[in-house]
Structure 1
Amino acid sequence: GIAFYGVNTLSETLDILRAQTLPPAAANTSEFSFHHIRHNEIKYYYDENYPLDFNDIKGQEHAKRSALIAAAGMHNLLLEGSPGSGKSMIAKRLRHIMPPLHNDELLECAKLEILEGKEPSFTPVRPFRSPHHSSTGASIFGGGTHKAQIGEVGLAHGGILFFDELPHFSKPVLEALREPLEDRHIRISRVNAKVTYDANFLFVAAMNPCPCGNLFNTAIPCRCSDVEIARYKSRLSDPFLDRIDLYVQMHPISSDDKPTVTSRELHEKVRQAFLRQKQRGQRQLNGALEDMEIARFCRLDEESQRTIDQAIGRFGLSFRAVSRVLKVARTIADIEGEEDICKGHLLEALSYRKR
């Protein structure tokens, strides 16, 4: 929405600034030319280029389903499986099936690219940040000696933050991540600056089931003892795991596995679910709903309420876990084109909880 006026000299600039009536703009960038869908006169832009396609992934239907749900509602996802099972492939392909962006979100993505020192691309593809597990806390959360510079968590705003080899990240980093996962912003305090950055991102993580990685592998025996496996998994605290909406175990592929779905097909389902959320009057996608919004948009019938009550007693679900189950069930219903959350949607959402 910015008008551009071309000038040759500083005098021409002063003449334009002094003038009561501005000349016609030489260029006007009021709209982007990308594919878009419209709701309430607002355009939401998306890209139909898929350099990384889900069609490259053979089998792993359960993981693909979870990826679809994660993208449609911006739900945090943890993939656990043997090396080579496709965890990173799924995470990297998620970026291209994310919900569309409106004009302001596109500009926010461009500002983040400028903060990182890049030339802004102005494309409707959400950010994808993947810090290495050896990264320092300052590089992930932001900071610095004098300035409160933005880190990976802030740069992932509106997009995906991917932690590969999750248990290898330091304990302080994983525990500090709990705040932005819950509050969706990150506060950085320094002597000369105190800054709050927005951090509303989709958190995706991948991990092996054990130190050697072969616990789920039927062809290669696991070399780890029970103590080593317990120590490996104990690096992830229960409060941290409570903030994960979708937990999926992935098993090694077999020769019978075939590609079953393309990114284009998944992206279409994400856009339809996105429209249903907007048509209900939601400001945020399902994964970011507040408590009052959950009560409004995630209402349950008597049968579904009995189901969630039984799950609370059986699995010891916390209040946060129940809220996240309801939000995931809402997204599953949106993907299926259902107005109400049914028992089947709730059972599927419960199946993704880590127990």
Structure 2
Amino acid sequence: MLTKTFGSALVGIHASIITIETHVGQGSKCYLVGLPDSTIKESIQRVESAIKQIGYFFPRRKVVINLAPADVRKEGSGYDLPIALGLLQASEQTKMTRLSDFLIMGELSLTGEIRPIKGALSMAIEAKKQGIHSLILPRENALEAALIEGLQIFGMDNLRDTIRFLHGRPQAAIKRDHVLPSSPPYMSDFSQIKGQEKAKRAIEIAVAGSHNLLLVGPPGAGKTMMAQRIPSIMPPMSLEEIIETTQIHSIVGKLSTDHPLVTERPFRALHHSITSTALIGGRTNPQPGEISLAHQGVLFLDELPEFQRNVLELLRQPLEERKVPISRAHGTVEFPANFLLISAMNPCPCGYFHHPEKPCTCKPYQVDRYLHRISGPLLDRIDMHLEVFPLGYSDMFKSHESESSQVIRERIGIARDIQKARFKEMSIRTNAEMNSVQVKEICVLDTTSTSLLRNAIEKLQLSARAHDRILKMARTIADISQTKEIQPKHLAEAINYRNLDRENWSG
């Protein structure tokens, strides 16, 4: 007898529908075909044990299991459940009339328990595109799949309950209305940071318009402390952003049973020993890297010059295009990488170059060599450069209360709403994502501002890319001020955040 069930294969962050054809006939061997990897080949042993545990038997006849289309490589243990159900149906041990109505995925233990899989959200998205509106998944994956509207998601705990459900036992589907948990309050707050008003202002602008930021200063100036509090001022994620981000984390198995959805913007703080593959993704079957895991959130690189130069240079294209393509012999996949880059560094090897009190012990050539670990092209792609200086004793213990993250977040939320309305007919969300054509149309300057920008470009010898990034920053500053037009003061502040370009780094 021939039986068909439906599963799904992952290609990058996307999925494709796989038809699992099972035929039981005359003979004595079991064949599993259709480009399965070794994990899928081992599923026969898991399936045999699981079905025996619930009172069925593995047929001692010829069994052919085909994963179609045969030219798409399949990986992972998620095919255990559809293979087991197809095998029981094809061997006529049970009759499940609605078996072909579902997309079914799940790993089986030897006792028949169903274990979670990777990429359930991508599978749900593709199932809806292909007209499959009912899915049977492990219970741990049901919440993430239920994000997709118009689908019935049934979470299962074991093989026995799945068979009973397919025999007609009623079970409630997971409702989308109940899958979005509220975000917990942040323990770290900007009110805990004394002084550093200029740096906090720069961070506010960076978050409001998604502009990349580099903080340069001596040890103890508060660079890392401020960066770690950035998640507390970021705007809440929309449902579309939650789906995008959860999809990436699901692919790499980063979702936990306690937090099956990514409802807080990611904050990925990387160590300088990271490899190129871990940063941008890769492997034989390409997987997302850290820059994709930071999608819709923050990528924080502390001690920037300590990273390997070849690793840092890989950031250049993703910073520009907000995606990362990975090519392999069987094709190219693209992972999204729309992140806010926040980086920090010391100004020299000893850390005290330009310090107001402590002398620098580095030779001039050592300072120059240290700063030149960051290439000009990469620096040019970082919108904002800011020197941060340590506070004096009196400033650290002032009784004046700093602004809370809640107050800053509200201003950022207003600026983001303005951008949302501005770009509602476009495929972008923030000012930093504008291309050169959009910059020309949206960032219009008056005569005074045009002259100011021209003088700054000539004096600082800035590139055309830096010119556009200054305009984008000025537009964000105007949005924070809720001003329709870019004024000279907005442009002047934006220009001030480019004062660490290559010509001035060691001057």
Decide whether the 8 Å contact of 1:55 with 1:260 is kept in 2: yes
Tell me, in whole angstroms, the C-alpha distance in 1 between the residues paired with 2:450 and 2:358. 43
User: What one-letter code is carried by the residue in structure 2 that aligns with 1:138?
Assistant: T
Tell me, in whole angstroms, the C-alpha distance in 1 between the residues paired with 2:155 and 2:497. 56
1:23-34 to 2 correspondence within 5 Å?
26-30=173-177
Task: Tell me the secondary structure at the aligned position of residue 101 of structure 1.
Answer: coil
Task: Tell me the secondary structure at the aligned position of residue 286 of structure 2.
Answer: coil
Aligned to 2:125: none
Task: Tell me the secondary structure at the aligned position of residue 439 of structure 2.
Answer: helix
Aligned to 1:261: 403
Count the aligned residue pairs: 337
1:204-353 to 2 correspondence within 5 Å?
204-257=342-395, 258=398, 259-282=401-424, 283-353=428-498
1:18-167 to 2 correspondence within 5 Å?
26-30=173-177, 47=183, 49-119=185-255, 121=259, 122-144=261-283, 146-167=284-305
User: What one-letter code is carried by the residue in structure 1 that aligns with 2:456?
Assistant: A
User: What one-letter code is carried by the residue in structure 2 that aligns with 1:237?
Assistant: S
Aligned to 1:39: none
Indicate how the Cα distance of structure 1 residues 27 and 190 shifts in structure 2: closer, same or farther if over 3 A, else same.
closer
Decide whether the 8 Å contact of 1:147 with 1:192 is kept in 2: no
Decide whether the 8 Å contact of 1:163 with 1:205 is kept in 2: yes
Tell me, in whole angstroms, the C-alpha distance in 1 between the residues paired with 2:493 and 2:264. 29
CA displacement, residues 134-180 of structure 1 (integer Å, 9 cap, x when unaligned): 11111111112x22221111111111111110011111112221110
Indicate how the Cα distance of structure 1 residues 48 and 5 shifts in structure 2: closer, same or farther if over 3 A, else same.
closer
Task: Tell me the secondary structure at the aligned position of residue 355 of structure 2.
Answer: coil
Tell me, in whole angstroms, the C-alpha distance in 1 between the residues paired with 2:276 and 2:193. 33
Tell me, in whole angstroms, the C-alpha distance in 2 between the residues paired with 1:82 and 1:5. 55
Decide whether the 8 Å contact of 1:133 with 1:169 is kept in 2: yes
Decide whether the 8 Å contact of 1:3 with 1:29 is kept in 2: no
- CA shift, 1:14, in A, is 5.5
For residue 191 of structure 1, the aligned residue among 322, 329, 351 is 329
Tell me, in whole angstroms, the C-alpha distance in 1 between the residues paired with 2:465 and 2:178. 40
User: What one-letter code is carried by the residue in structure 2 that aligns with 1:180?
Assistant: P
Tell me, in whole angstroms, the C-alpha distance in 2 between the residues paired with 1:158 and 1:242. 22
- CA shift, 1:94, in A, is 0.9
Is there any run of 5+ residues in structure 1 with no aligned partner, and where?
17-22, 36-46
User: What one-letter code is carried by the residue in structure 1 that aligns with 2:321?
Assistant: D
- CA shift, 1:303, in A, is 1.6
Decide whether the 8 Å contact of 2:252 with 2:287 is kept in 1: no
Decide whether the 8 Å contact of 1:212 with 1:223 is kept in 2: yes
Tell me, in whole angstroms, the C-alpha distance in 2 between the residues paired with 1:297 and 1:25. 50
Tell me, in whole angstroms, the C-alpha distance in 2 between the residues paired with 1:299 and 1:124. 36
- CA shift, 1:285, in A, is 0.3
- CA shift, 1:27, in A, is 4.1
CA displacement, residues 227-255 of structure 1 (integer Å, 9 cap, x when unaligned): 10000001111111111111110001112
Task: Tell me the secondary structure at the aligned position of residue 256 of structure 1.
Answer: helix
- CA shift, 1:112, in A, is 2.5
TM-score by length of 2: 0.63
Task: Tell me the secondary structure at the aligned position of residue 182 of structure 1.
Answer: helix
Tell me, in whole angstroms, the C-alpha distance in 1 between the residues paired with 2:490 and 2:218. 28
Decide whether the 8 Å contact of 2:266 with 2:294 is kept in 1: yes
Tell me, in whole angstroms, the C-alpha distance in 2 between the residues paired with 1:5 and 1:176. 42
CA displacement, residues 62-106 of structure 1 (integer Å, 9 cap, x when unaligned): 110000001101000000011111111111111221233211211
Tell me, in whole angstroms, the C-alpha distance in 1 between the residues paired with 2:492 and 2:167. 67
- CA shift, 1:292, in A, is 2.0
Indicate how the Cα distance of structure 1 residues 67 and 48 shifts in structure 2: closer, same or farther if over 3 A, else same.
farther
Task: Tell me the secondary structure at the aligned position of residue 393 of structure 2.
Answer: coil
Tell me, in whole angstroms, the C-alpha distance in 1 between the residues paired with 2:354 and 2:195. 16
Decide whether the 8 Å contact of 1:50 with 1:264 is kept in 2: no
Tell me, in whole angstroms, the C-alpha distance in 1 between the residues paired with 2:154 and 2:289. 35
Task: Tell me the secondary structure at the aligned position of residue 246 of structure 2.
Answer: helix
Deviates more, 1:2-11 or 1:257-266: 2-11
User: What one-letter code is carried by the residue in structure 2 that aligns with 1:13?
Assistant: L
CA displacement, residues 255-281 of structure 1 (integer Å, 9 cap, x when unaligned): 232452111111111101011111223
Indicate how the Cα distance of structure 1 residues 327 and 6 shifts in structure 2: closer, same or farther if over 3 A, else same.
closer
Greater C-alpha Rg = 2
- CA shift, 1:208, in A, is 0.2
Identity of aligned residues (%): 42
Tell me, in whole angstroms, the C-alpha distance in 2 between the residues paired with 1:329 and 1:346. 5
Decide whether the 8 Å contact of 1:87 with 1:206 is kept in 2: yes
RMSD over aligned Cα atoms: 2.2
- CA shift, 1:33, in A, is 5.7
Is there any run of 5+ residues in structure 2 with no aligned partner, and where?
1-148, 502-507
User: What one-letter code is carried by the residue in structure 2 that aligns with 1:29?
Assistant: R
Decide whether the 8 Å contact of 1:75 with 1:202 is kept in 2: yes
Aligned to 1:12: 165
Deviates more, 1:291-300 or 1:201-210: 291-300
Kindly indicate whether structure 1 or structure 2 has the higher relative contact order, using CA contacts under 8 Å at least 6 residues apart: 1
Indicate how the Cα distance of structure 1 residues 9 and 205 shifts in structure 2: closer, same or farther if over 3 A, else same.
closer
Tell me, in whole angstroms, the C-alpha distance in 2 between the residues paired with 1:309 and 1:15. 74
Tell me, in whole angstroms, the C-alpha distance in 1 between the residues paired with 2:195 and 2:295. 31
1:172-187 to 2 correspondence within 5 Å?
172-187=310-325
Decide whether the 8 Å contact of 1:147 with 1:193 is kept in 2: no
- CA shift, 1:25, in A, is 5.3
Tell me, in whole angstroms, the C-alpha distance in 2 between the residues paired with 1:9 and 1:240. 53
Tell me, in whole angstroms, the C-alpha distance in 2 between the residues paired with 1:25 and 1:339. 51
